Amino acid sequence: MPEAVSRPTLEAVAARAGVSRATVSRVVNGGDGVREPLAERVRRAVEELGYVPNQAARSLVTRRHDAVAVVIAEPESRVFADPFFALQLRGISKELTAHDNQLVLLLTEGRPDHARVARYLAGGHVDGALVFSLHLDDPLPGLIRDAGVPTVFGGRPHWSEDTRDARPGRAGEGADRGVVYVDCDNRGGAHTAVRHLVDLGRRRVAHIAGALDQTSAVDRLDGYRDVMADVLGESDPRLVVESDFTPAGGERAMRELLDRCPDIDAVFAANDLTALGALRVLRESGRRVPEDVAVVGFDDMVPVAEQTEPPLTTVRQDIEEMGRLMARLLLRGLSEGRDGEHPAAGAQGAPGRGVILPTSLIRRASA
């Protein structure tokens, strides 16, 4: 297989078309200000020579890269293993592609990688970054902020000071104004799920929470509490167990719950995987689902939710759309930054801090 041979340059195209480099450049970049017959000649020359612009040369002068970094921290964690990220990436990819941007994927595992990523971003290799921050104590988001790269976060960062972070004493504390992020309505979705259980007549509704160092877990817990407080005046703290978003964790939590309160008549699990574990323990314990205990999950990971026994009622979020939206927000911010507007605002401009996507309840057999 041949090495990449030297590609034709602008110069070559210009020679072939009998025009100057500037003219070719104009045609190649949108071509306004060039009379049609000439433009056509140039286009033909481009075609004949198979000319493709050298991006490096172009970036050198424009200081743009038409490339965006996607940073995913700790791919070991559950998140990367489930279809979640695949879908999100797909959404991001579609949007970037539609705007002729490339996707540079940065996966990190641990500290040394953080520095590497920060350096890369600070190095101005990409025009912006889409960052998935997962854990409360993750230093990466901070580093990235410091790198001064326009950024949109996936999932509410813990320092977002958003009002939906209902925990007193946290909101606003050390927070940044103007952080742009996209998330699904975790709290609202949880609300819907628990409401559904309550509407079914259930009163002893337990919650298996996710890892509470992730905002999604916290928000879902808050949504659960909203309803419980609303309906029952107060929620029995014994009905909540923290878990870790995994099936094994779900099993452990369910056992603990059953141990504490054998009279549970419903469970809202922080995600579908957790629900999977819970279902198994419920079955082992001789309880029928949904007759004895109704179960609702979160995520609607279809391959999982449809295959459980019974099929899982769960809260769906449009994951691909989240990805697409993140990319759109970033690109919009970038182009605004370029077009003057609020040059200093970059991606963190007008659109406001966070965009929350709606969720919906998918009813199957488990509740």
Decide if residue 43 touches DNA (CB under 7 A): no
Strands 240-242 and 266-269: unpaired
- Residue appearing with tokens 């970033």: 330
Token pair listed for 362: 């998918």
15 binds, among DNA, a copy of itself, none (CB under 5 to 8 A by kind): none
CB of 13 to a copy of itself, least distance (A): 14
Decide if residue 46 touches a copy of itself (CB under 8 A): no
Decide if residue 106 touches a copy of itself (CB under 8 A): yes
Decide if residue 22 touches DNA (CB under 7 A): yes
Give yes or no for a contact between 93 and 34, defined as CB atoms under 8 angstroms apart: no
23 binds, among DNA, a copy of itself, none (CB under 5 to 8 A by kind): DNA
Q: Which amino acid is at 185?
A: D
Nearer to a copy of itself, 18 or 124 (CB): 124
Token pair listed for 27: 């045609």
Number of helices followed by number of strands (H, E) in the chain: 14, 12
For residues 224 and 216, what is the distance between their CA atoms, to the nearest angstrom? 12
148 binds, among a copy of itself, DNA, none (CB under 5 to 8 A by kind): a copy of itself
Q: Nearest Cα to 131, choosing from 168, 110, 104?
A: 104
CB of 12 to DNA, least distance (A): 7
Decide if residue 11 touches DNA (CB under 7 A): yes
Site for a copy of itself in 118-177 (CB under 8 A): 119-120, 122-125, 145, 148-151
Q: Nearest Cα to 193, choosing from 319, 302, 288, 312?
A: 312
Nearer to DNA, 24 or 294 (CB): 24
Vertex 169, ends 167 and 171: CA angle to 5°? 70
Decide if residue 105 touches a copy of itself (CB under 8 A): yes
- Residue appearing with tokens 């609607």: 300
> Cα 337 from chain centroid?
23
For residues 12 and 25, what is the distance between their CA atoms, to the nearest angstrom? 12
The residue ranges that bind a copy of itself (CB under 8 A) are 1-5, 7, 50, 52-57, 59-60, 65, 67, 70, 75, 80-83, 85-87, 89-90, 93-94, 97, 102-107, 109, 113, 116, 119-120, 122-125, 145, 148-151, 178, 247, 273, 276, 280, 303, 306-307, 309, 337, 343-348
The residue ranges that bind DNA (CB under 7 A) are 6, 9-11, 18-23, 25-26, 28-29, 33-35, 38-39, 51, 53-54, 57-58, 60-62
